Amino acid sequence: MIVELGHFALALALAVSLVAMVLPLWGALRNDGRLMAFGPPSAVLQFLLVALAFGALTYAYVGSDFSVTNVFENSHTDQPMIYRFSGVWGNHEGSILLWVLILVLFGACVAAFGRSMPSPLRAATIAVQSSIVAAFLAFILFTSNPFLRVLPAPTEGRSLNPVLQDPGLALHPPLLYIGYVGFSVVFSFAAAALILGRIDAAWARIVRPWILAAWTTLTGGIALGSYWAYYELGWGGYWFWDPVENASLMPWLAGTALLHSVIVMERREALKVWTILLAVLAFSLSLLGTFLVRSGVLTSVHAFASDPARGVFILLILCAFIGGALLLFAMRGPQLAGGALFSPVSREGSLVLNNLFLSAACAAVFIGTLYPLALEAVTGDKISVGPPFFNATFVPLSLPILLAMPFGQQLAWKRGELLPIAMRLFVAILAGAAVMLAVLALSSGREAIAALGLGLGAFVVVGSLDDLRIRAMRSGAGSFFSRLFGLPRTIVAAALAHMGVGLMVIGIAATAFHEEQIANLEPGQTLNVGGIEISFEGMRRTTGPNFIATVGQFTARKDGVELMRMEPGKRTYVGRSMPTSETSRLQRGLGEVYLAVGDAHEGKLDVRAYWKPYVLLIWLGPLVMTLAGLLSLTDRRMRIAAPRRRVAPGAKPEPAE
Amino acid sequence: MTRKQRRLALIGAAGLVLAVAVGLILTALNDRIVFFRSPAEVAQLNVQPGTRFRLGGLVENASVERPGAQQVVFRVTDGTRSMTVRYSGLLPDLFREGQGVVCEGTLQADGSFNADTVLAKHDEKYMPREVSDALKKQGHWQGDAAPGGEGKPK
């Protein structure tokens, strides 16, 4: 009964969204307050209805109602409660429902927090957002209904895919989706501005917190997924350039570019065309990612059951929204010209540079991801575009960004000079050069690329933090520390986010110094990795709530002192015949000893051991970036309710943000 | 600088970055990608020894041997032809006889294949699409139900 209620609520939400995509927009165009007033409550109603549907599906999962096909296929009574819960989005239908839930949540947020924005913009934004909601609700109801029943009801389910039974994976999809879908609001704002023809600094000011919120969660979501792949898949890799990973990286790159260009638009009313285009692009890439993952064009852990009809439907949604937005863009294009002047060497100039390289890197990922699909469609040849391609394109295109980053933070608006900044940054330049030369010397010149990466990383970390010192020294009165803590939070957040990038680059560059040992061990034998002795003591079998496991027992010692008992293993889950790896890791500073086991043959166990110095920085960096994003969101100037302030072009060239 | 000169500088910088990006991408597409082949295609296309490619098919039943520590030799078949594959290292969790596999490596002069990567993906019902297509091409594919079945309650 509750399941049918959920189904009904979903159909009702579709009806509401169809009305909400027309009336408020009509009102915004005719400046009719009564029609516009329909927007906010209808957005809240859509949210309540979809939340009800999502709650109904969750109820079916938690109560193990196997008469629902979706629950039967993805749940099991032996599953711990957390995975019965996360199973709701551990499948195609449920994950799309989560996607829509976040869509309507953002719509409701515009309704709830948008009181200070001009009501035509708010109404038109809700209308555009509702049209996206309508498209995806139709997609669910016609191709991916999670509420279908199966009769007679089976007594036991087929369980959630075991690799998804992990706390990291319970959280990864919701975070990633908030980021992905967060760009839908940005898209809706852009489309609304294009429809209304009002595209100015005030618009940029209103949209900026939304971009920041989407970017922050997307950063956290991608990092969490990467960390999960690292410890769960047993290969010790953190990024595979898998098309599905690329699908999340592309909106992130476009979103990062957008996050920077919107500052120029807010402060200087320049780069308007470009910012609007990026806003459209970021969400288009999110949609493209959904299409790639959900259509069955690609096969991977993310592509649940694939179905061509779904692919065609999403492709239609994709074409309609991208095409519509670009059409609006072409119509309004002539009105978007103008903006303040700036010299190539200036804050604006550095942000343009950042945007150029980020877009080029995004284009490289785009081509690397879609070229194999296009080639197969045209010639039938199947190719694989893997890490070698991306290392040769993405990496060189992102290095200049790192080099320019600390300079950009220091440059003044309108016109700046490089030499004084280079002198101010001498600590960072010195640190970067010292690290680079030290690594070159220690590796006898063999690890030139790693040395470059580590040097750049050190330069970015020191340069970002130094920015705060330089600002605190120059501004205001009082002691150094009171001035440091008096800096605006957006400034501190920008420095921290840049530092996070530097930390991540150090972690990635340090992978050149990873040690790997593969051995076939008998009990009593040992192996050495990273100066740590790992002895194999034997194997045992254990059982968990819904799996049986074979566990290898190891002891890690350094200079004879026991550090940790390590127990990597393999699990076989009830209801599914596939084994999964459970790795065991020992942290040493920011590095890790990583142990995974393979199959056992005649009492001998295949063991893979790694020493990975500084590997944790790969995820600590993005964590710092995520926290910096949150910090920035708490800044008064980011608060949506804060009074709108028009910045007159060229008012004062303050070196802020 | 005048407005025009500034705009030119901006367009020049954008053009330069674009040219660099296009250059990098084209070079990489030329020599950093590998083709996917099934054993029958390898024979049919007369692939030269030393060529790097991805070999896909099913692991032939009762073909897996372990001549030494971490040394694995097995045969990959597409139903029409099969090839011997040598690999040293740990096999992925889902490597099984009779199941789909994708190996990346180089063709040897004796017609065998030296793999440096063996992939078997994350799901027991997952069949690499390249493999299922290759099997279909050789006419050895029964329906669209991947091994393990999909969706139907048993």
Per-residue model confidence (pLDDT) at position B147: 37
**Nearest Cβ partner for B70 among A381, A383, A520:** A520
- A526-553: pLDDT as tens digits: 999 988 999 999 999 898 888 888 899 9
Kindly tell me the burial class for residue A33, based on how many C-beta atoms sit within 10 Å of its own C-beta (0-12, 13-18, 19 or more).
exposed
CA distance A598 to chain B (A): 6
Asked whether A40 and A126 are in contact (CB, 8 A), the reply is: yes
Per-residue model confidence (pLDDT) at position B41: 87
Check CB contact under 8 Å for B153 and A72.
yes
Q: Most distant CA pair in chain B: distance in Å?
A: 77
> How is chain A split into domains, by residue range?
1-165, 425-512+616-638, 515-612
Nearby residues of A104 by Cβ (< 8 Å), 6 or more positions away: A13, A43, A46, A47, A49, A50, A51, A133
Using a pLDDT cut of 70, give the percent of chain A over it. Answer: 93
**Token representation of residue A607:** 């063991």
- A275-300: pLDDT as tens digits: 999 999 999 999 888 878 776 666 54
The interface residues of chain A toward chain B in range 274-333, judged by CB-CB distance below 8 A, are 299-301, 305
- A546-567: pLDDT as tens digits: 888 889 999 999 998 999 999 9
Give the start-end residues of each E strand in chain B.
Answer: 33-37, 52-59, 71-77, 82-88, 100-107, 113-119
Determine which of A71, A295, A393 to mutate to test the interface with B (most B C-beta atoms within 10 Å). A393
Per-residue model confidence (pLDDT) at position B138: 65
Which residues of chain A lie closer than 8 angstroms to B150, CB-CB?
A: 305
Per-residue model confidence (pLDDT) at position A642: 45
Which residues of chain A lie closer than 8 angstroms to B1, CB-CB?
A: 343
- A420-476: pLDDT as tens digits: 888 889 999 999 999 999 999 998 888 889 999 999 999 999 999 988 888 888 766
**What's the mean pLDDT in B27-38?**
85
**What's the mean pLDDT in A50-68?**
93
CA distance A518 to chain B (A): 7
The C-alpha angle with vertex A550 and arms to A547 and A553, in degrees rounded to 5, equals 135
Per-residue model confidence (pLDDT) at position A620: 96
> ω before A152 within 30° of 0 (cis)?
yes
Among B59, B55, B61, B58, CA closest to B41: B55
In chain B, the residue whose alpha carbon lies closest to the alpha carbon of A581 is B93
Per-residue model confidence (pLDDT) at position B144: 40
**What's the mean pLDDT in B75-92?**
87
What CATH fold (topology level) applies to the domain B35-137?
Answer: OB fold (Dihydrolipoamide Acetyltransferase, E2P) (2.40.50)
- A346-369: pLDDT as tens digits: 888 899 999 999 999 999 999 998
CB-based contact, B145 to chain A, within 8 Å: no
Of the pLDDT bands very low, low, confident and very high (cuts 50, 70, 90), residue A381 is confident
Which residues of chain A lie closer than 8 angstroms to B133, CB-CB?
A: 382
Terminus-to-terminus CA distance in chain B, angstroms? 76
Between CA A266 and CA A443 the distance in angstroms is 47
CA distance B123 to chain A (A): 7
Scan for tokens 């806003």, then name that residue: A279
Q: Which H helix or E strand runs over A25?
A: helix A23-30
- What angle do helix axes A23-30 and A2-20 make, rounded to 10 degrees? 20
Domain A1-165, second-level architecture: Up-down Bundle (1.20)
Which residues of chain B lie closer than 8 angstroms to A145, CB-CB?
A: none
Scan for tokens 């150094």, then name that residue: A480
Which residues of chain B lie closer than 8 angstroms to A233, CB-CB?
A: 122
- A6-40: pLDDT as tens digits: 999 999 999 999 999 999 999 999 989 899 999 99
> How is chain B split into domains, by residue range?
1-31, 35-137
Asked whether A196 and A260 are in contact (CB, 8 A), the reply is: no
Lowest-confidence range among A346-350, B12-16, B124-128, B147-151? B147-151
- What is residue A639's DSSP assignment? -
Check CB contact under 8 Å for A360 and B21.
yes
SS3 state of residue B103: strand
Q: Which H helix or E strand runs over A441?
A: helix A426-442
CB burial string B81-113: b at 16+ within 10 A, e below: bbbbbbbebbbbbbbbeebbbbbbbebeeeebb
Per-residue model confidence (pLDDT) at position A367: 92
Between CA A335 and CA A526 the distance in angstroms is 72
In this complex, how many residue pairs, one in chain A and one in chain B, have their CB atoms less than 8 Å apart?
Answer: 122
Check CB contact under 8 Å for A598 and B9.
no
Scan for tokens 């990006």, then name that residue: B21
CA distance B110 to chain A (A): 24
Task: Indicate the pTM of the whole model.
Answer: 0.89
Kindly tell me the burial class for residue A288, based on how many C-beta atoms sit within 10 Å of its own C-beta (0-12, 13-18, 19 or more).
buried
Nearby residues of A333 by Cβ (< 8 Å), 6 or more positions away: A273
Using a pLDDT cut of 90, give the percent of chain A over it. Answer: 49
- Using CA atoms, how far residue A79 sits from A38, A60, A155, A283, A546, in Å, is 44, 14, 15, 35, 6
Phi, psi angle pair for A209, to nearest 5° = -60, -35
**What's the mean pLDDT in A404-409?**
90
Q: Pick A361 or B131 by higher pLDDT.
A: A361
Which residues of chain B lie closer than 8 angstroms to A253, CB-CB?
A: none
Per-residue model confidence (pLDDT) at position B135: 64
**What's the mean pLDDT in A589-613?**
88
**What's the mean pLDDT in B77-86?**
89
In chain A, the residue whose alpha carbon lies closest to the alpha carbon of B28 is A389
Asked whether A565 and A555 are in contact (CB, 8 A), the reply is: yes
Average pLDDT in chain A: 87
**What's the mean pLDDT in B101-110?**
89
- A416-435: pLDDT as tens digits: 888 888 888 999 999 999 99
Per-residue model confidence (pLDDT) at position B118: 85
- A499-519: pLDDT as tens digits: 999 999 999 999 999 998 888
Return the HEC string of A272-307. HHHHHHHHHHHHHHHHHHHHHHHCCCCCCCCCCCCC
CB-based contact, B119 to chain A, within 8 Å: no
Which residues of chain B lie closer than 8 angstroms to A346, CB-CB?
A: none
